[in-house]
């Protein structure tokens, strides 16, 4: 299934897209697609309701697509998790996952405008596979246990301001947590529709020019390991998002450093997870 939220910011309506391309209204089942709903068997409740034919069709004409999960409790990010991306930035391949946090308020819809921060000269793009947690994960025993706590997957654009990230502080957070810096969606695709998260192509174009074209098989640390690893250091709650890293092709790693400017557009796709598109404006 593909879960989504449609409507104006703060007034999104929960919905589900079935395999035939029909969109159904979930408002009678839940007020939102969020952590508490996922924690209380929300996905199975939707599956049951779909099977029984009790969900009403939803007219999507003119409706904005919001992030497929209401504001997560936390957004955990993994840096330098693709071999080619580490190489292009001149960084050593990490021996352990590089973990940083992103302000959850950065999460916006997949087609929303992204704001270039005031004083920015190095706003950059990053297409990433996002993992959405569906069950509480605390001290998982083995990486193989991760499958039990993953609800599904989505496309994430981990927008970054490189000067803020790498020059203004020893921490990365300043360059990662600017407003609108995490478009997510269009869908939360349930895990049963993604049998192998390590076999997905990731692509990103800027103004129609392909910049990133990678595959999740090139992750340094795979999804199962990352979820297990993080659970040893923090409690992962339903609705939390994990951005799992980006392949090569970011502006920081290109010879001419073509950082984003007002009016630029980015288009992102991941196999089976749909596509998203943003236009950048000055804050």
Residue 180 has a CB neighbour count (10 Å cut-off) of: 22
Amino acid 169: pLDDT: 85
**Mean pLDDT (the chain, rounded):** 96
7-63 residue pLDDT tens: 999 999 999 999 999 999 999 999 999 999 999 999 999 999 999 998 999 999 999
Burial of 92 (0-12, 13-18, 19+ CB in 10 A): exposed
Distance CA 85, CA 95 (A): 15
Evaluate whether the domain defined by 69-282 bears CATH number 3.30.390.30.
no
Burial of 38 (0-12, 13-18, 19+ CB in 10 A): buried
- What are the residues whose beta carbons fall under 8 Å from the beta carbon of 140, sequence distance 6 or more? 146, 149, 227, 228, 231, 232
Query: Is pLDDT above 90 for 194?
Result: yes
Six token digits for residue 57: 């069709």
Nearest to 243 by CA among 173, 182, 165: 182
Distance CA 126, CA 276 (A): 13
Amino acid 214: pLDDT: 97
Six token digits for residue 97: 């996952």
Element (H, E) at 266: strand 265-270
What's the rounded mean pLDDT across residues 131-155? 98
Query: Is pLDDT above 90 for 96?
Result: yes
Query: Is pLDDT above 90 for 182?
Result: yes
Strands 2-6 and 65-66: antiparallel
Q: Is the pTM of this model over 0.95?
A: yes
Amino acid 92: pLDDT: 85
What's the rounded mean pLDDT across residues 55-72? 96
What's the rounded mean pLDDT across residues 181-201? 98
**86: confidence class by pLDDT, cuts 50, 70, 90:** confident
Q: Are 249 and 204 in contact (CB under 8 A)?
A: yes
261-275 residue pLDDT tens: 999 999 999 999 999
Q: Are 212 and 201 in contact (CB under 8 A)?
A: no
What's the rounded mean pLDDT across residues 122-145? 98
Distance CA 160, CA 245 (A): 12
209-261 residue pLDDT tens: 999 999 999 999 999 999 999 999 999 999 999 999 999 999 999 999 999 99
């Amino acid at each position: 299934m593909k879960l989504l939220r449609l409507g104006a910011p703060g007034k999104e309506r929960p919905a589900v897209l079935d395999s035939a391309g029909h969109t159904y209204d979930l408002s009678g089942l839940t007020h939102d697609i969020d952590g508490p709903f996922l924690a209380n068997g929300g996905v199975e409740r939707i599956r049951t309701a779909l099977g029984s034919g009790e969900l009403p069709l939803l007219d999507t004409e003119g409706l904005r697509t919001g992030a497929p999960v209401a504001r997560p409790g936390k957004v955990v990010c993994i840096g330098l998790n693709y071999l080619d991306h580490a190489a292009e930035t001149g960084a050593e391949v990490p021996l352990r996952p590089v973990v940083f946090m992103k302000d959850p308020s950065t999460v916006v819809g997949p087609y929303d405008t992204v704001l270039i921060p005031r004083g920015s000269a190095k706003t950059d793009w990053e297409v990433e596979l996002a993992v959405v947690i569906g069950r509480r994960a605390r001290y998982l025993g083995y990486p193989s246990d991760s499958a039990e706590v993953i609800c599904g997957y989505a496309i994430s654009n981990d927008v970054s301001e490189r000067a803020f990230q790498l020059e203004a502080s020893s921490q990365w957070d300043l360059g990662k947590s600017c407003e609108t810096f995490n478009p997510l969606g269009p869908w939360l695709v349930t895990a049963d529709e993604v049998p192998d998260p390590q076999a997905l192509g990731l692509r990103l174009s800027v103004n129609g020019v392909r910049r990133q074209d990678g595959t999740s098989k090139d992750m340094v640390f795979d999804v199962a390991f990352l979820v297990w690893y993080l659970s040893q250091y923090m409690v992962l709650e339903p609705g939390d998002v994990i951005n799992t890293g980006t392949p090569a092709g970011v502006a920081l790693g290109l010879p001419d450093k073509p950082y984003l400017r007002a009016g630029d557009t980015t288009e992102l796709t991941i196999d089976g997870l749909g596509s998203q598109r943003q236009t950048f404006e000055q804050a």
